[in-house]
Structure 1
Amino acid sequence: MTGSSGPALYEQLCFVAMPFGVKDVGGQPVDFDRLYDAVFEPALSGVSLPEGGRLVPHRADRDFYAGVIDEDMYRYLEYSRFVLADISGQNPNVFYELGVRHRSRESGTAIFQQIGDPIPFDVSHVRVFPYTQGSDAADAEARSLIERVVTESLRRNRLDSPVAAALRAQREGQGADRLLDRALMEAENAIRAEDRPRAVQAYRRAIRLDPENFTLHLEAGILLRDTGDWPGAVEAQREAVRIEPEAAAAWRELGVALNKLHARSDDEPRTGEAELRRAVELDPHDSDAWASLGGVLKRKPDYEGALDSYERAVAESGGASYPLLNAMKVRAAISGKLDLSDADRIRLRRVQRRRARQAEQDPPYDAPWSFFDLAEVLLYLDDPNGFLRYLDEGVLHSAHGWQPGTFADSLQIVSLDGPKGEALAQGVLRLRSAAAALSV
């Protein structure tokens, strides 16, 4: 099949944008060729089209005819009935192809990602379907998820391109379209320059121009969260859930912001628990929502409920550091001691390797949390000096007092003896001091 015969040949085609060969995902090698053959191709081949017939999966490297690869790829992205993008490993080619598709078509695109791989901010507001792979059971579950998502997407044919949504909103605004475009461009440039306050200002201008745009409120709320403006984050996410009451991500972010505001102000009676429970009801696979719910229950304190939520987050995320470390702390609080199994130590080593790679990036990824997670892992693996070293690095990369303060709060429920206990007490004092200094 070639693109030269026009779009008619693509009416049954599902183009799969994904990495080729063996690539690193979260510190683990993944054979994407095996993944396509064992999961994506059979799942997509089982999808029935609404008008009859079957979807035909296709990957660009499976073409065996002569031609210009780039031209054919653009035709696939422009004309294919459906495009499935796997952003696992954050491959730049896949993101480029996803951007081309979102600009080309208003609907007919779904994004998948392996559990445990962080989602970049640029697509954090778009629905990303998490999956696991590698075992027979995981592959079967992934095939079922893919077939279900693509079948439902074809049947509903709803707008799923954030580019098309933004442009449609601009067209409807007419007189404000250029101003909105400039505000969004300024926000994007500010985010890339890591100037979040300027990005927030740009989003606020955009919201004044298009107050019913759900995505603008959601993204502004996330930025306000990252700058420590919890009242602003709550206000933004309340608007987001008003506009899109079924948006799980907005309920999750609202719950997180309410919980932080509740901890810092007597004026906010809500803990965020109800909002986070709504988020996991809407999306039971949202590991971040489960982990955040665990945090709310831990502070009640409801350690049994917190442990259930953290363990659900661990399962949904494939062993992400935040729920894993908190599950270990809560178990220690329940039993009265930190008792690690061999399996726990293996999980900690995996977190150590993944977080070390992220902390070593320039600039560090997910700072200060990548440093704080490394510190905690090393403490539990009997390296108190390493714990203090990475704790200090995390403080240096903290922009707001709530960041080291939150880490100190999380460590308070752990009781350790000997050199580890001494390092823990010293570390909590350093964190408290840094939180006070950064809050001035």
Structure 2
Amino acid sequence: MPFGTKSDGMGGTVNFDKVYHQIIKPAIEQAGLEPLRADEEVIGGFIHKPMFERLILCEYAVADLTAANANVFYELGVRHAVRPWSTVMLFAQGGRLPFDIAPIRTLPYQLDPVGNPSAAETDQSALTALLNEARRTAGEHERGPIDSPLYQIVEGYPAIDHTKTDVFRNKVAYSEAIKKKLAEARTQGLAAVQEVAVTLGDLSNQEAGVLIDLLLSYRAVNSWTSMTELVERMPRPLADTALIQEQYGFALNRAGRGQDAERVLTDLVKRRGPSSETLGILGRVYKDQWEAALVKGDRRVANALLDKAITTYLWGFEADWRDAYPGINAVTLMSMKDNIDPRQQQLLPVVRYAVERKVSAGTPDYWDYATLLELAVLADDEIAADQYLGLAFTTAYDSFAPTTTARNLRLIRESKERRGESKNWIQELEAELLAKANPPAKANGNS
């Protein structure tokens, strides 16, 4: 783990010494083990020698993955390469784990706003339980459950037959060919994507990159049911990653299964902690439920769902201020209330700053310009809105994206009209966006 107070990579800090002394060390002792941390060793000579000895020889290891510290991940890789089991991982709740680690069981712990443990006793008990479980299973089976992904996934590791290298080369070439076919199929519609999917055969034999590409291809052609069915057929380690579960929740909601989507996304937040992406999608679930309640005329339920959607989007924005998506949705929905939420004026410049920083970094996408478009519409800036609409159309986007933006502009326009403001120019922007969306014939009926 890192030592001292370090950046968490999201604008805050973590006091790793307090994490060690208040959570990790007492948890290890409570499990009947002896804690050993590198900076507590008073030893001369080349520091890497005792480090490698510890990683290889210690019966149990605890790794804190918070902030994706390079040294920690290197040492974790060494550990996983030589020890099939007995490595326990944890991270500060609210951070996002890198994709390669996301499928592995990892314990989140809680910090206060200044980076100190905020639920030390609870987190200590949870870590002790994991260590006790590792000790119990090791005692029963003379080894613990395999937790190293190398030993879990790579058949025969570490004694790999040299002939597998030829198989590997063939798989790489095959995967690249499939990805090119999917890229072409996305431009032709659902039927073309399905034709490529049929050629894949048993999904358990496909590499993760191909399956993710197929999932996003279904998303690009608005085939929500195909997305959900694909996730349900994926190998569990891949299906359980945050990326796939987020897309699963997204697709379930678009397929009209809002309650299932809510269950998937709230469970992901519990397991992985809050993130702007997960909460942005969950906010959309509540946003859709709010509109459905309005259509039914159930005003009381609609008001409660509107507040729930705003709270969820705000939670997502606070999880990562750099991601403007949940922020713009929060301020847009604040306009929908009978009396505009007073927090809107405080948040508008923060959301603008977040998206402008992303644009200035040189990597703007459709959603960045769509966010600036919505901000311009909220500010009644017709000239800027027209400019950002044009910029949005110059970027690559999935077919559902313009429809989503048109819907948001409609909500803003209708809220302004309820307050007696006529905004025909906004309606013209909506029409342009809808004209850019794929025609219904290219969708699968669930869009």
Name the structure 2 match of 1:139: 116
The verdict on how the C-alpha distance between 1:96 and 1:140 changes in structure 2, with shifts beyond 3 A counting, is: closer
Q: Does 1:166 align with 2:159?
A: no
Name the structure 2 match of 1:150: 127
Does the 8 Å CA contact 1:252/1:279 hold for their aligned counterparts? Answer: yes
Name the structure 2 match of 1:273: 259
Name the structure 2 match of 1:434: 436
Query: Secondary structure at 1:110's aligned position in 2?
Result: strand
Q: Which structure carries more relative contact order (alpha carbon 8 Å, separation 6+)?
A: 2
Q: Distance in 1 between matches of 2:253 and 2:267?
A: 18
* Cα deviation, residue 47, structure 1: 0.5
Deviation digits for residues 126-160 of structure 1 (CA, Å, limit 9, x no counterpart): 55666664537x73436456434433332333544
Name the structure 1 match of 2:228: 234
* Cα deviation, residue 106, structure 1: 3.8
Does the 8 Å CA contact 1:220/1:233 hold for their aligned counterparts? Answer: no
Q: Does 1:86 align with 2:88?
A: no
Does the 8 Å CA contact 2:317/2:327 hold for their aligned counterparts? Answer: no
Does the 8 Å CA contact 2:80/2:148 hold for their aligned counterparts? Answer: yes
Query: Secondary structure at 1:397's aligned position in 2?
Result: coil
Q: Distance in 2 between matches of 1:120 and 1:423?
A: 43
Query: Secondary structure at 2:204's aligned position in 1?
Result: coil
- Percent sequence identity is 20
> 2:247 is matched with which residue: 240, 243, 253?
253
The verdict on how the C-alpha distance between 1:178 and 1:298 changes in structure 2, with shifts beyond 3 A counting, is: same
The verdict on how the C-alpha distance between 1:278 and 1:134 changes in structure 2, with shifts beyond 3 A counting, is: closer
> 1:45 is matched with which residue: 14, 22, 25?
25
Q: Distance in 2 between matches of 1:385 and 1:119?
A: 41
Deviation digits for residues 9-40 of structure 1 (CA, Å, limit 9, x no counterpart): xxxxxxx1x487654733x2x344xx213334
Deviation digits for residues 338-365 of structure 1 (CA, Å, limit 9, x no counterpart): 4442xx444444444444444444555x
Of the two, which has the highest radius of gyration? 2
Aligned length: 399
Q: Distance in 1 between matches of 2:167 and 2:310?
A: 40
* Cα deviation, residue 104, structure 1: 4.0
Q: Distance in 2 between matches of 1:325 and 1:378?
A: 11
Amino acid at match of 2:307: L
Query: Secondary structure at 1:46's aligned position in 2?
Result: helix
Deviation digits for residues 172-224 of structure 1 (CA, Å, limit 9, x no counterpart): x9999668755775699899x999749x99x9799756628997898466544
Amino acid at match of 2:305: G
Does the 8 Å CA contact 1:86/1:111 hold for their aligned counterparts? Answer: yes
Does the 8 Å CA contact 1:47/1:55 hold for their aligned counterparts? Answer: no
Q: Does 1:294 align with 2:272?
A: no
The verdict on how the C-alpha distance between 1:66 and 1:248 changes in structure 2, with shifts beyond 3 A counting, is: closer
State the TM-score, normalizing by the size of structure 2.
0.66
Name the structure 1 match of 2:315: 315
The verdict on how the C-alpha distance between 1:195 and 1:299 changes in structure 2, with shifts beyond 3 A counting, is: same
Does the 8 Å CA contact 1:233/1:254 hold for their aligned counterparts? Answer: yes
Amino acid at match of 2:259: E
Name the structure 2 match of 1:332: 335
Runs (5+) with no aligned partner, structure 1: 1-15, 263-269
Amino acid at match of 2:16: Y
What pairs with 1:396-407 in structure 2 (closer than 5 Å)?
A: 396-407=394-405
Q: Distance in 2 between matches of 1:97 and 1:349?
A: 42
Q: Does 1:112 align with 2:91?
A: yes
Runs (5+) with no aligned partner, structure 2: 135-144, 187-192, 294-301, 443-447
Does the 8 Å CA contact 1:113/1:128 hold for their aligned counterparts? Answer: no
State the TM-score, normalizing by the size of structure 1.
0.66
Amino acid at match of 2:124: E
The verdict on how the C-alpha distance between 1:208 and 1:400 changes in structure 2, with shifts beyond 3 A counting, is: same
The verdict on how the C-alpha distance between 1:87 and 1:39 changes in structure 2, with shifts beyond 3 A counting, is: closer
Q: Distance in 1 between matches of 2:105 and 2:149?
A: 10
Amino acid at match of 2:152: A
Q: Distance in 2 between matches of 1:333 and 1:197?
A: 39
Q: Distance in 2 between matches of 1:170 and 1:227?
A: 37
Does the 8 Å CA contact 2:355/2:371 hold for their aligned counterparts? Answer: yes
Q: Distance in 2 between matches of 1:53 and 1:272?
A: 46
What is the root-mean-square deviation of aligned Cα atoms in Å? Answer: 5.2
The verdict on how the C-alpha distance between 1:273 and 1:389 changes in structure 2, with shifts beyond 3 A counting, is: farther
Does the 8 Å CA contact 1:404/1:432 hold for their aligned counterparts? Answer: yes
Q: Does 1:211 align with 2:197?
A: no
Query: Secondary structure at 1:25's aligned position in 2?
Result: coil
